[in-house]
Structure 1
Amino acid sequence: MTARILVVDDIEANRSLLETRLTAEYYDVITAEDGQRALDICASSPVDLVLLDVMMPGIDGFEVCRKLKASPETCHIPVVIVTALDEMADRVRGLEAGADDFLTKPVNDMQLLARVRSLLRLKMLTDELRLRAVTARDIGLDKLFDADGGDEGGKKPEVLVIEERQSSFDSLVRPMRREFSVSRGEDPQAGVFTAVEGDFDCIFVASRYENFDALRVCSQLRSLDRTRFVPVILVADADDDELVGRALELGVNDYIVRPADPNELIARLRTQVRRKRYHDGLRANIAQSIELAVIDGLTGLYNRRYLETHLETLVARARSRERNLSLLITDIDRFKTVNDTYGHDAGDDVLREFARRLRDNVRGMDLACRYGGEEFVIVMPDTSAEVAADIGERLREQIERDAFLVANGADSLPVTVSVGVATLSRDGDEDARALVKRADEALYEAKAAGRNRVVSDAA
């Protein structure tokens, strides 16, 4: 994963040190020597993450963070305050200003890089949701979510704490009770079931259980549909550095070290709840606003109209940031025979089931669309030609392996699919139309060569 990271510090040696560390991980790093310059850069060019010093001439880091988070154009950019200040009051002040994390100099490399990767994944998801919301507005739909975080009518946020030890649970939740409604999972497995059955705004996971791996709990929460987007905060011990790094790689949103300072705990929890409600609002608005206009009524996937509007933006963004973008076109083989032999109701059953399998084989950031008839398109940001071809082959194998049930399960049909793959050229000025055309030509090759195969045109 590549990204554009802004390092803000008035001391050149500090900027150079962070720039060297991040460049070694293949990030695109830009620097600013003061707060105003940082604000100007964020306002005028794409930035994926800000590493921000506090003590600077002019506008200090706290004020820069507040200004970034107050602007609708920059509020979604993750901000990590990196400073020599190590007092708890400074940490809480930074979090209350809207910072996503607070790291004390000298910065531990493992913690820095794990936190950077975690926040960049979150930024990618936020970008995709925002982009889809803007697309809905641009194609003439009236309502675009005003993402202010919402208070859901004054209802207390629901928090789940998965903690075996009663004393540890009591000490952790004591400062929460005034502002949050707290539930407990008394053991890891029961806690996961409670999380799935409930509607929680945040989940705390203890780093140590008597007979269960805490990372397994985090992995389960991230893999289940009901909890995939619920913020998870790891409650770690002071010597859990390696475990914290692995947890962040698994998708944990944040962590706090025991004994937790009550003010820091509440500040971090508020941040996670605010972000979740922001994302929930975007998702809900997208679903409500574009369903009739850009959702295919039969399969529930986006339709061709949405693809043609959205793909131009994705191509432009991939090109400006020098990132990969791949596109798959799939075509159900001999679909007319299904309609002619079994009827159009059976054909509709096949299309609906194919769309479901398509959704199961793509990531949350990917865009799956019904292109028309029995053709479907998948757009995959940050995906190389090789990975895209592997995904196409995995989909092809699954379609061929598992027969399709029709007529409420009364009949089953063998189905195969042909797939054409194209990846955006890094050279020249290829547009969305040209990318689709190359994928379509690859699909034609696959069908001409006997169907039930994947052909890739990487340009």
Structure 2
Amino acid sequence: MSARILVVDDLEANRRLLEALLTADYYEVMMASRGEEAVQLAKRERPDLILLDVMMPGGIDGYEACRRLKAMPETRHIPVVILTTLDDRDNRVRGLQAGAEEFLTKPIDDVQLMARVKSLLTLKVVIDELRAREANGRRLGVITNDGRPDAVDQHRVFAGNVLVVDDNPTQIKRIQSALGVEHRVSILGDEAGAGPPDLAVVSVHAKSFDGFRVIARMRSGEATRHLPILAIVDPDDRKRAIRALELGAHDIILRPIDEEEIIARARTLMRRKRYMDALRQRLDQSLELAITDQLTGLYNRRFLFTQLEPLVQRAQCGGDAVSIMAIDIDYFKRCNDTFGHDVGDAVLREFAARLASNTRPSDYACRQGGEEFIVVMPRTTGDIACLAAERLRRSIASSEFIIPGLAQALEVTISIGVASTDGADETTESLLKRADEALYEAKRTGRNRVIGRTGRDAA
């Protein structure tokens, strides 16, 4: 995996050593010797990973540099690994609380460092893809800047659900004691009512199950694919630690578990998960906006053609017939002119709600524009489509529209033209044209009726 890595250390020998190690794996290396320089370089160059020494003379140290990096929208998503000769738990916890994803002690174990680098870069690729899609959505106008995920408070503590997968009662009790203050902690097999987990803590030294298999299954399962995993390993078992990271664990913690350290690591992992969840949610919303008519909540014209085209093509090749209804609200312009566009919009929304409740889950109800609507009915012959259209027409005509703020109820009727696929030379355009011709005939012959053109001639 090629990526750009920023190495920050005040000693040139250390920088050169890391540069040689990383370039041997084809990473592009940038270097800085001071904390302030690193912050500005990261802001300008946007590296994929930062390896940050703590002890730097003058200016700001590594902890403060990390805090500044995590406070800026341009750099807060970049993983930071703090490197230091300090091996006490206070400094380790301090680094994690500053926002670092990892804390490694010098002299650096080459194999363990590269395993961490690869694990964090894999995660960074996912984040970058989500951010790129969000940026595209913002440029297209389907995502606004309000409430953007980059504005999420990086230091706020959010309560979450923690799933513990362990068979050591003493260790479980320590995890519950540490994380139970801020989070809801449940044990595998006893998580009823706990809700979906935001973090899994998995022991790879368990005797009653294979912790590596648990991690692998979580990483491949649909429901747990994006779940952050914190693996518990022995301090002298480098092989298991690296294996856990290779299988998909996002982080590791050494036994015996330090309560402040697991609190800090849990916060980091869950904060990152919420950031990525927010990005995915916004992308889902942007996709919905791209295919949805904002006034009525029905599908829009773009979605209509993307769904109808393959259905017609399958029908051409001998597949199931597809039918469509072309619907027009009768005298809608008169309604707008008499009561105003606000009332007209309310009529459109009410009609859309009734339309949605009178179509099957497999049908696609779309607003084509103005007061014109199309319903795509897969695997439906013309006679069945005509019956459904008549049922819809009666449902609209039989109940007046009650519009908030309007003293009188409105009588609303619709005209419907129905067409279904007919023959190998049928196209999307010809199907829509015949439905429009049927709709025009319904309006010409008095409105509030259904006309079907299920073949080449009018039905």
Which bin holds the TM-score, normalised by the shorter protein? 0.5 to 0.7
- Which deviates more from structure 2 when the two are superposed, residues 94-103 or residues 55-64? 55-64
Which of 179, 199, 203 is matched with 2:200 structurally? 203
- Alpha-carbon spacing, 1:263–1:247, altered in 2? closer, same or farther (3 Å): same
Cα-Cα RMSD = 3.0
Superposition deviation, residue 143 in structure 1: 2.3
Residue 4 in 1 paired to residue 4 in 2?
yes
User: Percent of pairs identical after alignment?
Assistant: 45
Indicate the residue corresponding to 2:33 in structure 1. 33
Other-structure match for 1:184: 187
Output the CA distance in 1 between the equivalents of 2:233 and 2:239: 11
CA contact (8 A) 2:232 2:253 kept: yes
- Which of 328, 336, 339 is the aligned partner of 2:313? 336
Secondary structure of the structure 1 residue equivalent to 2:150: coil
Residue 387 of structure 1 aligns with which residue? none
Question: What does 1:12-23 correspond to in 2, within 5 Å?
Answer: 12-23=12-23
TM value normalised by structure 2: 0.63
1:246 maps to: 243
Counterparts of 2:194 and 2:185, CA distance in 1: 15
Residue 195 of structure 1 deviates from its aligned partner by 10
Helix, strand or coil at the partner of 2:51? strand
In structure 2, how many angstroms separate the alpha carbons of the residues matched to 1:259 and 1:233? 14
Rg larger in 1 or in 2? 2
Residue equivalent to 2:81: 80
Please give the secondary structure, in 2, of the residue aligned with 1:147: helix
Q: C-alpha displacement at 1:178, in angstroms? A: 1.0
Return the alpha-carbon distance in structure 2 between the equivalents of residues 168 and 262 of structure 1: 11
Residue identity opposite 1:178 in structure 2: V
The answer on 1:277 being equivalent to 2:274 is: yes
SS at match of 1:341: coil
2:195 is the alignment partner of 1:227: no
> 2:51–2:83: 8 Å Cα contact kept in structure 1?
yes
The amino acid of 1:82's aligned partner reads L
Cα 1:337/1:286, change in 2 over 3 Å: closer
Change (3 A) 1:230 1:149: farther
> 2: CA distance between counterparts of 1:73 and 1:196?
39
SS in 1 for 2:227: coil
**Structure 1 position 174 matched with structure 2 position 177:** yes
Whole-angstrom distance in 2 between the partners of 1:206 and 1:180 = 19
User: Aligned equivalents of 2:40 and 2:202: distance in 1?
Assistant: 39
Q: Specify the SS of the correspondent of 1:69.
A: helix
1:20 maps to amino acid: A
Extract unaligned runs of 5+ from structure 2.
294-298, 304-308, 324-377, 381-459
Is the CA contact 1:147–1:282 (under 8 Å) kept in the aligned structure 2? Answer: no
Q: Is the 8 A contact 1:118 1:251 kept in 2?
A: yes
Q: How does 1:13-412 map to 2 (within 5 A)?
A: 13-57=13-57, 58-144=59-145, 145-149=148-152, 156-185=159-188, 190=189, 198-293=195-290, 336=313, 338-345=315-322
TM-score by length of 1: 0.63
Please give the alpha-carbon distance, in whole angstroms, between the structure 2 residues aligned to 1:27 and 1:178: 41
Q: Give the Å deviation of 1:142.
A: 4.5
SS at 2:318 equivalent: helix
Distance verdict in 2 for CA 1:196–1:47, change over 3 Å: farther
CA contact (8 A) 2:2 2:28 kept: yes
Question: CA shift at 1:210, angstroms?
Answer: 2.0
Give the aligned length: 311
SS at match of 1:342: coil
CA deviations over 1:70-115 (Å, ceiling 9, x no partner): 0001000000001111121111111111000000000111110000
Point out where structure 1 has 5 or more consecutive residues left out of the alignment.
Answer: 305-330, 347-405, 409-459
Greater CA deviation, 245-254 or 99-108?
Answer: 245-254
C-alpha distance in structure 2 between counterparts of 1:96 and 1:21, whole Å: 28
**Contact residue 147 and residue 281 of structure 1 kept, 8 A:** no
* Gap change, CA 1:215 and 1:269, over 3 Å in 2: same
The 3-state SS of whatever aligns with 2:77 is coil
Q: 1:65 to 1:170 in 2, by over 3 A?
A: same
CA–CA distance in structure 1, aligned partners of residues 101 and 288 of structure 2: 33
Given that 2:92 and 2:261 are in contact with CA atoms closer than 8 Å, whether structure 1 keeps it comes out as yes
Change (3 A) 1:255 1:42: same
Provide the C-alpha distance between the structure 2 equivalents of 1:266 and 1:282, rounded to a whole number of angstroms.
24
**Aligned mates of 2:230, 2:236 — CA distance in 1:** 17
